[in-house]
Copies of this chain bind each other. A is one copy, B any other.
Amino acid sequence: MFNVEYINPFIAATLQALEVMAQVRPKRGSPFLKTEHVSKGDISGVIGLAGEAVGSVAITFSESLAKKIYAKMVGEEAGSLDENVRDAVGEIANMIAGGAKATLSQHGHSFKIAIPSIVVGKNHTIEHKGTGPCLVVPFELEGETFWIEVSFQGAAGAG
């Protein structure tokens, strides 16, 4: 089973990343188990976690929401999901993984962070192929929904 305690550090890191980078405060919804890959989006940041604990985390936005967040970050509108917007999504993914790592490592779940990959494509889906389940957390912001999806297998024996 997915230990639900694993998800909280990812939620906290997501809120913090968006607050620090874009001065926005999304409203988090309830986590649910991903039994089919339903969270479609237009741009995602995906980042692998590997060590004694392993996993993967993805954050997925619609094109319009990604552009809104980018505009809040830099004070400039983006016309498309250009390199600047993609870089911004990569930074957000990095901050989420880094923030979660800081908390989880204090509980004995040691891992390192791979480099982020940015997926762009209308209505794409992402599915993590770990041996355990995947949790999805919806967030509301500016009248839209974005998601994080986390698959995480903690270090054996860690608290």
Contacts and interface: CB of A to CB of B under 8 A. Distances in A.
A158 to B, nearest CB: 16
B115 A125 contact: no
B115 A121 contact: no
A104 interface: no
A: contact size bracket: 35 or more
Contacts of A114: 48-50, 54-56, 114
A66 interface: no
A127 B120 contact: yes
A111 B49 CA distance: 11
25 contacts: A46-B117, A47-B48, A48-B48, A48-B56, A50-B50, A50-B112, A50-B113, A54-B112, A54-B113, A54-B114, A56-B115, A56-B116, A56-B117, A112-B112, A116-B128, A117-B128, A117-B129, A119-B121, A119-B125, A120-B124, A121-B121, A121-B122, A121-B125, A122-B123, A124-B124
